[in-house]
Amino acid sequence: MTSSPAPQLHPDVQPFVFMLGTWRGRGEGSYPTIDDFTYMEEVSFSHVGKPFLAYTQKTRHGETGLSLHAESGYWRFPAIELVIAQPTGIMEALSGDFRPNDSGGRFEFTCPDVVVTDTAVRVDRTIRRFTFEGDTLTYDMAMAAVGEPMTHHLSATLDRVVP
Amino acid sequence: MTSSPAPQLHPDVQPFVFMLGTWRGRGEGSYPTIDDFTYMEEVSFSHVGKPFLAYTQKTRHGETGLSLHAESGYWRFPAIELVIAQPTGIMEALSGDFRPNDSGGRFEFTCPDVVVTDTAVRVDRTIRRFTFEGDTLTYDMAMAAVGEPMTHHLSATLDRVVP
């Protein structure tokens, strides 16, 4: 099934074609309840001709190279919605808005009700911001979790390495 | 980041090693509100040395070959939990149980509260059953959606094509 010819981009995704590809870079994380850390990250956006982009993300520890986090999901257009599943048992359904810039644009998403499985760590709310400018992607993420109020958690800068 | 050596399987995943690989096959779908349909499917389970398996699924129309559905998520062990994001804006956090057989086993998962984005079709509850027997995977899925009670929706049989 993976050998089929590439489908045409869906018209609803056309305004967001600047997202497509694989991005790599570095980030740093902090939270009141844990030690600060750095990480290497790979993010990918791909399409199948339908009005969404498939999203995958993987991080490794900045020093040891060991797998840290992963997540996967879908960016829905034109609604500007984002659904993300995480192996930590955390799921976010986010609504957002988009402001274009000269070579991309900025998304800001909020998730007012994070869903977690029975055995997962408690996360209540998240905010995620993504800025695309040419071949650079920066993002930051804040969360209200484990009893803490909304607090900055992650920020990273990535470069597009595969179109 | 994808060129790192393959990590060792996590001990919590070891009892479920029979799931690993890529599976392909055919399925059929029905629901009171839509026409019956058939589909071709590819499912993949992979690991990064942590206590979960990454799960991806894609289907194409049985006759036209066009992309139909996709989903991605994670199977969490030893809790037997499953989180799935779908580009339709539907997210399921499922809890399950597992009964081993001679060459695999059977999972049965329920999701009592499906989460949907603002613009998604309403789905309330789902049941998903997966049976692994050697190189054969069969599953079925039922859902209560768009006002219908819990009703059979999908069933498929797949063969492992990549270990």
Which of chain B's residues have a Cβ under 8 Å away from the Cβ of A1? Answer: 24, 40, 42, 58, 60
Option in B4, B83, B90 nearest A117 (CB): B83
Which of chain B's residues have a Cβ under 8 Å away from the Cβ of A118? Answer: 79, 81, 95
CA distance from start to end of chain A: 22
Tokens of A130: 């993504």
Distances B22 to B44, B65, B94 between C-alpha atoms, Å: 4, 19, 22
For A85-100, write each residue's pLDDT tens digit.
999 999 999 999 999 9
A-side interface with B, Cβ within 8 Å? 1-2, 4, 7, 24, 40, 42, 48-50, 52, 54, 56, 58, 60, 65-67, 70, 72-74, 76, 79, 81, 83-87, 89-91, 93, 95, 113, 115-120
Does A117 contact B93 at a Cβ distance shorter than 8 Å?
yes
pLDDT at A132 over 80: yes
Which of chain B's residues have a Cβ under 8 Å away from the Cβ of A60? Answer: 1, 4
For A6-28, write each residue's pLDDT tens digit.
789 999 999 999 999 999 999 99
Does B49 contact A67 at a Cβ distance shorter than 8 Å?
yes
- Residue among A131, A142, A7, A9 nearest A77 (CA): A9
- Is A90 within 8 Å of A116 (Cβ atoms)? yes
Does B54 contact A1 at a Cβ distance shorter than 8 Å?
no
For A31-64, write each residue's pLDDT tens digit.
999 999 999 999 999 999 999 999 999 999 988 8
Distance separating alpha carbons of residues B28 and B152, to the nearest angstrom: 11
pLDDT category at A3 given cuts 50, 70, 90 is: very low
For B120-161, write each residue's pLDDT tens digit.
999 999 999 999 999 999 999 999 999 999 999 999 999 999
| pLDDT block averages, 10 residues each, chain B of length 163 | 73 98 98 96 97 98 92 98 98 97 97 96 97 98 97 98 93
For A57, name the nearest residue in chain B, comparing CA atoms only.
Answer: B1
Does A81 contact B89 at a Cβ distance shorter than 8 Å?
yes
In chain A the domains, ranked by start, together with CATH numbers, are 14-109+132-162 (2.40.128.20)
- Residue among A52, A41, A40, A70 nearest B83 (CA): A70
pLDDT at A114 over 90: yes
- Is A37 within 8 Å of A29 (Cβ atoms)? yes
Which of chain A's residues have a Cβ under 8 Å away from the Cβ of B72? Answer: 54, 56, 72-74, 85
